[in-house]
Amino acid sequence: MEKIKDLIEKIFDEENQIYPFKRKYISLSENNNEIDVKIDLGFVFKRLEEKYKKIIFKTLEPTKKSVKIDFKLNVASHQTQTGTQSLKNVKNIIAVASGKGGVGKSTVACNLAIALNKLGARVGILDADIYGPSQPKMFGVSSKPESKDGKSMEPIEAHGIQTMSIGYLIDIDTPVVWRGPMVTNTLQQLLGETNWKDLDYLIIDLPPGTGDTQLTLAQKVPVTGSVIVTTPQDISLIDAQKGIGMFNKVNIPNIGLIENMAVYECPNCGHHEHIFGSGGGERLAKKNNIELLGSIPLKAHIQEDMDSGVPTLIKDNHIEIHGEFFSIAEKVSIRVAQIKENFKDRFPKIVIQNN
């Protein structure tokens, strides 16, 4: 049986380029002429399951035994920057950021959350843009969160995602005219006083730039990793580089880069036009030795979907966009799984009392 475990570990290490597979995630049992294989995976695998099964069946074919395979998603909590306390009921926090506004970061964050959820994970999203919250509109939510104890808030679930935003608490037309300390305090309250429920991933949709909100995130919020969103044009790449540099300085891993509005596809003739230039995301990723997670085309229906409160991944008529976001979600999940696990919360707290 140990040889069979070794064979399965080798499959995952070689075929999927993930972290060295941990033996504890594989359990095998043999009953008469059947081998029962149970595998816990720390990343979303729904689209890859059949591929895995075929490879395992072929690998174990020489045993001449019947093989039964069961997969289970078991996302672990991973290490964050030092000096931060883990958030209750949240395993991993992923910050989605951009150096400048107008690159479609909130659209990407929304659809990334939905993609991870559709692939089997429990996901939440926190709209951290206090001055210009976008997620209530994108998720089609206009209600206010409930409070069962008068001290904390229940996240509002929309399209399978647990959501929270300052936009739920203020009038949509009321401007937020606050100084930095009020903004950072509000962010901490929205994050820490929301009763998140057993999340594998919490996506934080950050405001553009590298200001107070980002600094608070780096100093006080346990972030597993960051994803940078950019467009291919040089003016966006310059600011995206600043975002990458900021996360490097505060020791938050850069999971990768997403290039949005990469190419315009004419809905009538199918002609492709690189309105904002081409290859910018690839060059920036290569320069910083990070992965280009994917490129999202510029399509009118994406804007229409988000404005209608029914995100693109909820609709069934844009399969090519679905595939791109699912691929990005898989890569993000796998990159998170490569980060060292967080074991500090598993140990009991030791309290020394003087008698």
DSSP E strand stretches across 42-141:
66-73, 90-97, 123-127
Same domain, 54 and 144: no
Residue 171 is part of which domain span?
90-338
Q: Indicate whether 170 belongs to any domain.
A: yes
Same domain, 115 and 69: no
Distance (Å, rounded) from C-alpha 131 to C-alpha 153? Answer: 20
- Looking at the chain, the whole-number percentage of residues with pLDDT higher than 70 is 92
Number of domains in the chain: 2
Q: Indicate whether 80 belongs to any domain.
A: no
Give the global pTM: 0.90
Same domain, 185 and 267: yes
Of all residues in the chain, what percent are helix, strand and coil, respectively (each to 5)? 40, 20, 40
Same domain, 133 and 261: yes
Banded pLDDT at 351 (limits 50, 70, 90): low
Residues 37-63 pLDDT 10s: 998 888 998 988 888 888 889 888 888
Same domain, 13 and 154: no
Q: What is the strand order of the sheet 199-205 is part of?
A: 156-158, 161-165, 123-127, 199-205, 90-97, 225-230, 254-259, 292-295
Angle between helices 234-249 and 212-220 (to 10 degrees): 30
Distance (Å, rounded) from C-alpha 153 to C-alpha 345? Answer: 24
pLDDT given at position 22: 56
Size of the chain in residues: 355
State the Cα angle at 80 between 79 and 83, rounded to 5°: 120
Same domain, 236 and 325: yes
Same domain, 7 and 153: no
Same domain, 279 and 161: yes
Q: Indicate whether 343 belongs to any domain.
A: no
Distance (Å, rounded) from C-alpha 223 to C-alpha 340? Answer: 13
More confident residue, 172 or 327: 327
36-61: burial string, b at 16+ Cβ within 10 Å, e else: ebebbbbbbbeebeeebeebbeeebe
**CA 145 vs CA 90, 155, 265, 328: distances in Å:** 19, 6, 39, 30
Q: For the chain, give me the number of helices (H) and strands (E)?
A: 10, 13
pLDDT given at position 267: 75
Same domain, 31 and 127: no
Question: Residue with structure tokens 């045993």?
Answer: 63
164-184: burial string, b at 16+ Cβ within 10 Å, e else: bbbbbeeeeeeeeeeeeeebb
Q: What is the mean pLDDT of the chain?
A: 87
Q: Indicate whether 247 belongs to any domain.
A: yes
Residues 321-340 pLDDT 10s: 899 999 999 999 999 998 98
Residues 180-202 pLDDT 10s: 778 888 888 999 999 999 999 99
Q: Indicate whether 81 belongs to any domain.
A: no
Least confident of 83-87, 213-217, 245-249, 317-321: 317-321
pLDDT given at position 228: 96
Same domain, 193 and 94: yes
**CA 210 vs CA 24, 92, 220, 280: distances in Å:** 41, 22, 15, 21
| CATH code for the domain in which residue 55 is found | 3.30.300.130
Q: Indicate whether 349 belongs to any domain.
A: no
Whether the pLDDT of residue 19 is over 80: the answer is no
Banded pLDDT at 173 (limits 50, 70, 90): confident
Distance (Å, rounded) from C-alpha 243 to C-alpha 217? Answer: 13
End position of a domain, from candidates 73, 106, 122: 73
CA distance between the termini of the chain:
53
